[in-house]
Chains A and B, each alone.
Chain A
Amino acid sequence: MRRLVSLTLGVMTAIGGFVDIGNLVTSGISGSRFGASLTWAIVLATVAIIVYGEMAGRVAAIAGRTVFDTVRERLGARLALVNLAASLALNVLTLAAEIGGVALSLELASGVNYLLWVPLAGALMWGVAWRVSFRRMEQVYGLLGLTLLVFLAALAAGPSDWSGLLGSAVHPAAPPAQGQLTWWFYAVSLYGACVVPYQVYFFSSGGIEEHWSEHDLSEVRLNTFVGFSLGSVLSIAIMWAAADVLAPAQASVSGLGEVALPAAVALGRLGLAVAIVGFVAATFGAGLETALSTGYIMCQYFGWNWGKMMRPRQAPEFAVVNLLVLVVGTALVLTTIDPIRLTLVTVALSAAALPLTYFPILVVANDRGVLGTRVNGPVRNLLGGGFLVVLTVAGLAALPLLFLTKAGQ
Chain B
Amino acid sequence: MTDGSAHPMPSTPPLRRPPAADARPPVRPGRAGAPVLAGALACLVAAVGCVGPTGTEAAYRDKARQAATSMVGVIGSARLATRTLLAGRATRPFTDSVVSRAERDAAWVRTAFDSRQPPGPAGDRLRGRLDPPLDAAVSALSDLRVAVRRGDRAAARAALHALDGPLRTLEGLAGR
Q: Report A's interface with B, CB cutoff 8 A.
A: 32, 63-66, 69, 72-73, 77, 80-81, 88-89, 92-93, 107-112, 177, 208-209, 245-246, 249-255, 257-258, 260-261, 264-265, 267-269, 272, 276, 294, 296, 298-307, 309-310, 314, 317, 321, 324-325, 327-328, 331-332, 335, 337-338, 341-342, 345, 369-370, 372, 402-403, 406-407, 409
15 contacts between A and B (CB under 8 A): A92-B37, A108-B93, A109-B93, A251-B76, A255-B98, A257-B101, A267-B89, A268-B88, A303-B17, A303-B18, A303-B21, A309-B2, A332-B34, A345-B45, A407-B49
Q: B2 near A209 (CB under 8 angstroms)? A: yes
A269-B29 contact given A251-B80, A335-B38, CB 8 Å threshold: no
Q: B94 near A257 (CB under 8 angstroms)? A: yes
State how many angstroms separate the Cβ of B148 from the closest Cβ of chain A.
Answer: 10
Complex CA–CA separation, A407 to B45 (angstroms): 8
Contact of A250 among B28, B76, B92 (CB under 8 A): B76
Which stretch from B3-11, B132-140, B153-161 is at the chain A interface?
B3-11
Q: A264 near B31 (CB under 8 angstroms)? A: no
State how many angstroms separate the Cβ of A159 from the closest Cβ of chain B.
Answer: 14
Q: B4 near A305 (CB under 8 angstroms)? A: yes
State how many angstroms separate the Cβ of B52 from the closest Cβ of chain A.
Answer: 9
Closest A residue to B14 by beta carbon equals A73
State how many angstroms separate the Cβ of A276 from the closest Cβ of chain B.
Answer: 8
Complex CA–CA separation, A298 to B5 (angstroms): 12
Complex CA–CA separation, A248 to B90 (angstroms): 19
Q: A249 near B79 (CB under 8 angstroms)? A: yes
Contact of B175 among A66, A177, A245, A299 (CB under 8 A): A177
Which stretch from B53-61, B66-74, B118-126 is at the chain A interface?
B66-74
Q: Which residues of chain B have C-beta atoms less than 8 A from A294's C-beta?
A: 29
Complex CA–CA separation, A42 to B9 (angstroms): 35
State how many angstroms separate the Cβ of B76 from the closest Cβ of chain A.
Answer: 4
State how many angstroms separate the Cβ of B59 from the closest Cβ of chain A.
Answer: 14
Q: B176 near A177 (CB under 8 angstroms)? A: yes
Q: Which residues of chain A have C-beta atoms less than 8 A from B77's C-beta?
A: 246, 251-254, 257-258, 261
Q: A272 near B94 (CB under 8 angstroms)? A: yes
Q: A254 near B37 (CB under 8 angstroms)? A: no
Contact of A342 among B33, B45, B92 (CB under 8 A): B45
Among B95-147, those with CB < 8 Å from A are 96-98, 101-102, 105
Complex CA–CA separation, A73 to B17 (angstroms): 9
Q: Which residues of chain B have C-beta atoms less than 8 A from A335's C-beta?
A: 38, 42
Among all A-B residue pairs, the 5 with the closest Cβ atoms? A252-B73, A111-B93, A250-B76, A251-B76, A307-B2
Any A CB within 8 A of the CB of B64: no
Q: Which residues of chain A have C-beta atoms less than 8 A from B66's C-beta?
A: 409
Any A CB within 8 A of the CB of B47: yes
Q: Choose among B28, B44, B48, B105 the residue with the greatest number of A CB atoms under 10 Å from its CB.
A: B48
State how many angstroms separate the Cβ of A13 from the closest Cβ of chain B.
Answer: 19
Q: Which residues of chain B have C-beta atoms less than 8 A from A249's C-beta?
A: 76, 79-80
Complex CA–CA separation, A406 to B108 (angstroms): 15
State how many angstroms separate the Cβ of B149 from the closest Cβ of chain A.
Answer: 8
Q: B48 near A251 (CB under 8 angstroms)? A: no
Q: Which residues of chain A have C-beta atoms less than 8 A from B7's C-beta?
A: 64-65, 208
Q: A250 near B41 (CB under 8 angstroms)? A: no
State how many angstroms separate the Cβ of A245 from the closest Cβ of chain B.
Answer: 8
A332-B38 contact given A299-B4, A345-B44, CB 8 Å threshold: yes
Closest B residue to A340 by beta carbon equals B101
Any A CB within 8 A of the CB of B23: no
Q: Which residues of chain A have C-beta atoms less than 8 A from B18's C-beta?
A: 72, 77, 80-81, 301-303
Q: Which residues of chain B have C-beta atoms less than 8 A from A246's C-beta?
A: 76-77, 80
Q: B80 near A265 (CB under 8 angstroms)? A: yes
Complex CA–CA separation, A77 to B5 (angstroms): 14
Q: A108 near B97 (CB under 8 angstroms)? A: yes
Q: Choose among B4, B15, B16 the residue with the greatest number of A CB atoms under 10 Å from its CB.
A: B4
Q: A331 near B93 (CB under 8 angstroms)? A: no
Q: B37 near A324 (CB under 8 angstroms)? A: no
Closest A residue to B91 by beta carbon equals A269
Q: A272 near B91 (CB under 8 angstroms)? A: yes
Q: A268 near B29 (CB under 8 angstroms)? A: no
Closest B residue to A249 by beta carbon equals B80
Complex CA–CA separation, A74 to B89 (angstroms): 55
Q: Which residues of chain B have C-beta atoms less than 8 A from A257's C-beta?
A: 77, 81, 94, 97-98, 101
